[in-house]
Structure 1
Amino acid sequence: MYSVYVLHSKKENKLYIGFTANLKRRIEDHSKGKVNVTRNWLPLVFIYAELYANKKDALQRERFFKTGWGRQYLNKILVNTLKNFSSSKI
């Protein structure tokens, strides 16, 4: 199973979009500062994930989320979640 996930940085008030084949391990790696990109963004909060049986589908979805249209989509479906984090936008 493959996952596309979204994390929120309380410190930076930013969202991080990622892909993994092991969601639990990857979230732990982020939380422990083992991921260079988010190391200085701690603490992080897991706010969203989508699961895929096919790796190619998951990677395609991750790429979409990192586009302007994908960011608009995430802001729309996570509107109430993002309200909890003040002015957080992707």
Structure 2
Amino acid sequence: MFYIYVLYSVKFDRMYVGMTINCEHRLRQHNSGKTQSTKAFMPWIIIHKEEYLTREEARDRERYLKSAAGRRWRRKHLNLAAWRN
């Protein structure tokens, strides 16, 4: 199984989209500062994840969520107000 995940940094009000085979392990990597692109915005929480059978399906969805249309989808479908406080 492959997972697409959306992380959210409450402190910086930012989202990050990624792909993995183990969401919990990947979240620990992001929050330990081992990922260059996310280390400045720690801590992160997983606010959304989707499961796919193949890497290709997961990669296609990841690309979409990182596109302009995908950013609109995230704003519309992921309730960030619930995570902000």
Which residues of structure 1 form unaligned runs of 5+? Answer: none
Partner Cα distance (1:82, 1:73) in 2:
12
Q: Deviations over 1:1-30 (max 9, x none)?
A: 101100111232110011112212111111
**Runs (5+) with no aligned partner, structure 2:** none
Structure 2 counterpart of 1:10, one-letter code = V
Q: 1:31 & 1:55 partners in 2: Cα distance? A: 24
SS at match of 1:33: coil
TM-score, normalised with respect to structure 1: 0.85
2:81 corresponds to which residue?
83
- In 1, the alpha carbon distance for the partners of 2:77 and 2:12 equals 21
Tell me the equivalent position of 1:39.
39
Q: Which residue of 2 aligns with 1:2?
A: 2
Note the 1:1-90 alignment, pairs <5 A: 1-78=1-78, 81-84=79-82, 85=84
Say what the alpha-carbon RMSD is for the aligned residues.
Answer: 1.3
| Letter of the 2:59 counterpart | L
Percent identity over the alignment is 35
Q: Distance in 2 between matches of 1:20 and 1:59?
A: 10
More deviation in 44-53 or 19-28? 19-28
SS at match of 1:12: coil
Calculate the TM-score normalised by the size of structure 2: 0.89
Count how many residue pairs are aligned between Structure 1 and Structure 2. 84
